[in-house]
Each structure stands twice: as structure tokens, then as C-alpha cells.
Structure 1
Amino acid sequence: MKKFQTLLYYCYSPIADAEQFAADHLKFCKSLNLVGRIIVADEGLNGTVSGSVESCQTYMEAVHADARFAKTEFKIDDVEEPSFIKMHCRYKSEIVHSGLKDTSIINPNERTGKHLEPVEFQKMIDQEDVIILDVRSNYEHNLGKFKNAITLDIENFRDFPEKINELAQYKDKKVLTYCTGGIKCEKASALLLHHGFNDVYQLHGGIIKYGKEAGGEDFEGKCYVFDNRIAVDVNSINPSVVSKCYNCGTVTAKMINCANPECNEHITQCDECGTKLQGCCSDACITNPRRRPYDGTGYYVKVPQPVGISA
């Protein structure tokens, strides 16, 4: 049995004085020796935390004991070591940044797509009147996606609203949305309904839950995760690798961040190119004086940027 766990979760539930809650919650997490990343907003919680089995159990019990978060569903992975190095808990305007000026039109507690359990989703994906919509970013679906899924050219979820018009041709279809853990689909499906899509669904628990409960069938490639594992296996039934090395085109499932912190591009890169380019996406990035040492993983603790340089 592995000694550590990683918990992925979210909960849309109003939090009064969310900024203070974030500060208090950070102290609580540190008291349990947890590491991870939690976003707190007036609309709820979005987090991934990691630590000992005992600490994770205590954390889940504490979250469920709070009436506001009693419905929170945790996706639990047993891991060899904690999936983060530090603990962060920050207040932001949204737990998933939608890019909308008026966020009231997509309140998941009022209206969202019909939740499909993994087995239900699995039964629907091959129906003729169904389209499968990946609402994640480019670097995520480049690494892995459902067979025949429609993907969008977006760098961040806040770009999703601008793509709604491109999807208008599917208004008469059943639209099945999916993402990593379900949180983006809550807002994506709500926005689709707002724009006149009538039959909208979402994969409850996302790709991670689908892998655990439906074997990940027909999910091609790996699933990108936002911790130092970077990518995890999902499909135990008919697995495949669909991603290719950004530099040479060789089939590879390895995802890295460019070693140049001023670039930090998410790319798939084979080990040979990783060694040759020292973990960088290009020759230009190798010469950057702030280039981080490449240890073969392609994962780096976030480095503060000098004033005037964007990450």
C-alpha cells in the first residue's frame, strides 16, 4: 500500500469572506502537513492536495463536516510521494476563470449540464446524435483526449466563451462535455445552455473518475494533471499514445514545461530531444541565462518573474 494520496476536488458553494477563509484554510492544511494548490473564491473551492493517507483522510472529513462543502466529491489517487512541494491556498475572483464580465449568467448552482456518471457517458459516446466536446486547453488535449472528441484551440479556459459561435452547428445535437475533474464543465455546459444549446451534458467527475469507474475506455493518450506528476494513465482497456514530440515528431506521452521560465511552454517532448535541448522547447530557450537545470522530469517549482517579464 502506498503511503501518500493526492486528492482532486471542487465545490461550487458560496463562501462568505472568502479571502479570510483562504488564509485560515492555508493554516489548516499546513497543520496537516499537506502540500498542494487550492483556489478559494466567493463561489467555492477548487483544489488538489497531497499528503499522508491519514492527513488526507482528516482533510476530507473536515471539508465534509462543513455544511457548505458536504457535497464535495474527492477523486483519490494513491501515490508514491506527495504530488507537490509546497502548500498554496489563494483567494481569486473565480475558482475557474471564465473570462466573462458578467459571471452571473453561469452559476452552476442554478443551471448546468446534466451530469452523466462514467458508465452512462460510456454508453452515449458512440450514438449518432452525440458530439463529445473537450473544454480543456491545447496542451491538455494534445496529450490525450476521447476518441472523436471535438477540441478547441484555446490556451486557457477563459478563451472558451469566444469559441461558442464555432460550435453553433451542433445546437441540434446532444453535447457531452468533459474535462479533467469536472469543474470546467460546470461552467462550460452552463454557458452552452445560456447560448441556446438545449441538450447539454457533462461527465461527472471528469476524465479522472471515468478512468477509475469505466476503465478509461476510448480515452486516447494520457491525462494532464496540475501537479508534479504532469500526466497520468487513464485507459486500462484499450490504451494508446496519441501525442508526438514537439521537436522531432516521435510518438511520446511525456509532457514537460520548457526549462526557460520566461517561456515555460507546455509541450510533449521525447527523452532524446529533452536531453539534447536540456529540457527546452527550442535552441533559443537554451541560451536564456535563467534556464532551469533539467532533471528529466520537466516539472519545475514556479519561479517569480522579474518585473516586466510575463510568465
Structure 2
Amino acid sequence: MQKIILFYKFVPVADPETVMFWQRNLCERLNLKGRIIISENGINGTLGGQIENIKMYIRDMNKHPLFKKIQYKWSDGNADDFPKLSVKVRKELVTLAPDEQFNVFNSTKGLKPKQWHEYIDKHPDVVILDARNDYESEIGAFKGKNVIKPKIKNFRDIKSELDKLPKDQPILTYCTGDVRCEYLSAYMKHKGFDEVYHLDGGIVKYGEEYRDSGHWEGKCFVFDERLNIAFSNKSKDIGICVHCDNQTSNHINCEDKSCNRLVLACVDCATKTNNCEQHSSVMV
């Protein structure tokens, strides 16, 4: 049986290149596929493979002085959900502010899923900032009176959204597995925000605990061949097909080479055209 794990850790890494070669050799030996990014600030990865091999990977990680006590998020899937194994060194674990100096290890408090859930219960007017891209949030998001879903295609563009937010009020921020929102919380602290909380473990951990009975609605976008995951058989399709306006969570890439845009197309429409609404010559 196979599974997929999602993980990260912010920790000073003196020699990212050496860690990269170790990670590549370890994953190849265990027949794991996926993506791993290493920087001077830590590690961020998603891997798929046989459960026993993943457990061996985790055991080796726990033996390393830098990578002990990582929180691993498990989900259904397999190695074939990734085209290959990619292990790279980058300047940032997630690209946000490569030209700015700030302490990435000085993140704000993370709220466990139960704490997050109860905070929203007690403070229904709290500002909730989605730290993901718009094509992610269109199929699933937290519900609330003041949920902000930025119209961005890249995480680094979320900086422009911060200028619109109050610095003297509590703000909750979340993402898929917590790496982006923890990183963002450190950046927001650097920018003078007084009270920012990120969802510890991200949407995935919240979904494990509350499924579809909490403040989450829809499905969770993931960056592999699955494209999304549901937390129960009650998960709703809240995205809108670009062709017929029916509700869907099905993404396709426009086949037009000048476009390649990721758009929502329901299964019925996707059987008739593999293009977006602008480049489709088929009436659907």
C-alpha cells in the first residue's frame, strides 16, 4: 500500500548542498518520488511511495540532528502522483521576499486545529487570510465573515495584500500544510503586525480532525497529479466551471500553448474541450 507525506521544518542548514545529495540518495534508495526543497532556512517536501519505505525515510530523518520531530501529514496517494523525484536547493523554502532581510525563524504562534476551530467560534468576525493562490482557494476555503482570498497566482504576490490589513487586530492565516503561512507570519511580524496566528499543520491537519463538519468547506488543492483531496464523502464542490457555471473541483490546463492556464472545468465539459473559456472552439 502506498501513501503520500507532506512535511517541512524551518531550521538553520549550514550546508544545503550536502543535505540535497543525502536526500536524493535516500529517496532513490527507497523508491520515493516527489519534491524536496532545501535552503539555508530548512526543508520542505512532498513524497509518495510504499508505506514501509516512507516509514524508513522518516526513521532516517529522525536520526538527523536537524530534522528530528518534524510533523508529517499523511494522505491517500502514491508515487505515480509525481512525474519524478526532484530535490533542489533554493534561496527560500517558499518564495516570498528574496531581497528582504527578516528572521524567518521568528514566526508567530501556531494554533492547533482545535484551537483554530474554537478561536473562530469565539471570534466570528476575525480576519482570516488565505495564504494560497486563487486557483487553490476557489475549490476550498475556510468559512467566515472576514475571509480574504487574494487574487494571486504566486505566493510572493501576497505582499500587496498586506497593505490592506489592519496591523492592530488579530489575523488568522492558513495554507495547505502550514509552511507558507508560518513563513508569512514571520514576515508579517517583521512588518509590524501585532497579532498573527497561523494554522499549525495547515488545512490537511484540520481536515484530519474535523473532516467536513467544521469551518472548512470544499476540497483541498494539492500540487501533484491528484490536484485535490477530499476530507470525507461529504466534501462539497464549490468551484465554478468556466464553461457552464456548474459547481466542480476539477481543474484542467488549457491545451492552447499560448495559454496553459489552470482552470476549473466540470467533468462533462472537460470531455468536450481541453481548453479554457477563451480558447475553446466547442460550444459546451
In the TM superposition, residue 133 of structure 1 has moved relative to its aligned partner by 1.1
Please give the alpha-carbon distance, in whole angstroms, between the structure 2 residues aligned to 1:260 and 1:64.
45
- Counterpart CA distance in 2 for 1:120 and 1:50 is 30
Q: Distance in 2 between matches of 1:261 and 1:38?
A: 28
Per the alignment, residue 284 of structure 1 pairs with 279
- Alignment of 1:124 with 2:119, yes or no, is yes
Q: Unaligned stretches of 5+ in structure 2?
A: none
Q: What's the counterpart of residue 185 of structure 1? A: 181
* Kept after mapping to 2: 8 A contact 1:99/1:159: no
Cα distance, 1:262 vs structure 2: 4.8
Provide the aligned C-alpha RMSD in A: 2.1
Structure 1 residues 163-182: aligned runs within 5 Å: 163-168=161-166, 171-182=167-178
What amino acid is the match of 2:109?
K
The match for 1:105 is 102
- The 5-angstrom pairing of residues 1-311 of structure 1 reads 3-79=1-77, 82-102=80-100, 104-107=101-104, 109=105, 111-126=106-121, 127-128=123-124, 130-148=126-144, 149-168=147-166, 171-216=167-212, 217-234=214-231, 239-260=235-256, 262-277=258-273, 279-282=274-277, 284=279
Shift of 1:248: 2.1
Contact (CA 8 Å) 1:219, 1:239: kept in 2 or not? no
Q: 1:225 to 1:177 in 2, by over 3 A?
A: same
Offset of residue 256 of structure 1: 2.3
Equivalent residue letter for 1:90: K
Deviation at 1:70, TM superposition (A): 0.5
The question of whether the paired residues in 2 share the 8 Å contact of 1:41 and 1:93 is answered with yes
User: Which amino acid counterpart does residue 203 of structure 2 have in structure 1?
Assistant: I
What is the rounded CA distance, in whole Å, between the counterparts of 1:81 and 1:187 in structure 2?
27
**Secondary structure, counterpart of 1:76 in structure 2:** strand
Q: Deviations over 1:195-227 (max 9, x none)?
A: 222111010000000011222422111110011
Change (3 A) 1:246 1:106: farther
CA positional deviation for 1:282 = 4.2
> TM (normalized to structure 1)?
0.83
2-structure distance, mates of 1:80, 1:29? 14
Give me the identity figure in percent.
35
Taking a change above 3 Å as real, the CA distance of residues 255 and 201 of structure 1, as seen in their structure-2 partners, is same
Aligned to 1:67, what secondary structure does the other structure show?
A: coil
Q: Is the 8 A contact 2:91 2:98 kept in 1?
A: no
Q: Displacement, 1:80?
A: 6.1
| Secondary structure of 2:164's aligned partner | helix
Runs of 4+ in structure 1 over 4 Å off: none
TM-score (norm 2): 0.91
In the alignment, the residues of structure 2 paired with residue 26 and residue 60 of structure 1 have an alpha-carbon distance, to the nearest angstrom, of 14
SS at match of 1:201: strand
SS in 2 for 1:10: strand
